[in-house]
Amino acid sequence: MSPPCVTYNKINTYDFFRKRVYKPQHDTSNFEEAYRLALEWGGDRIPIGIIYENTDKRYEELDPVLSEKPPIEREVRPIPQDVLEEFL
């Protein structure tokens, strides 16, 4: 593990992280356990590594826009001039 960048952080120093960081041994497919681990950051322990991994579905399957077709294969539509002028 590389040390954290603590150059300008006088509260969360290298020793602060060294005493708290650990790599948990747990079932990464268990969402409840992953959530519990994620909440530890505010306390005296900081879990690192893969906290949660869902191997049932790919990201593209979870996002309805990406499930249609890859972004590279989509039609590029120009922004209408009036919308562009209003934005600028």
Every domain of the chain and the residues it spans: 14-74
pLDDT digits (tens, 9 = 90+) for 23-64: 999 999 999 999 999 998 877 899 999 999 988 877 777 777
Residue 71 reports pLDDT greater than 80: no
pLDDT score for 2: 62
Confidence of residue 66 (pLDDT cuts 50, 70, 90): confident
Cβ-contact 86, 80 below 8 angstroms: no
pLDDT score for 31: 93
Distance CA 45, CA 25 (A): 14
Mean pLDDT taken over the chain: 84
Would you tell me how many other CB atoms lie within 10 Å of the CB of residue 34?
20
User: What pTM does this model have?
Assistant: 0.56
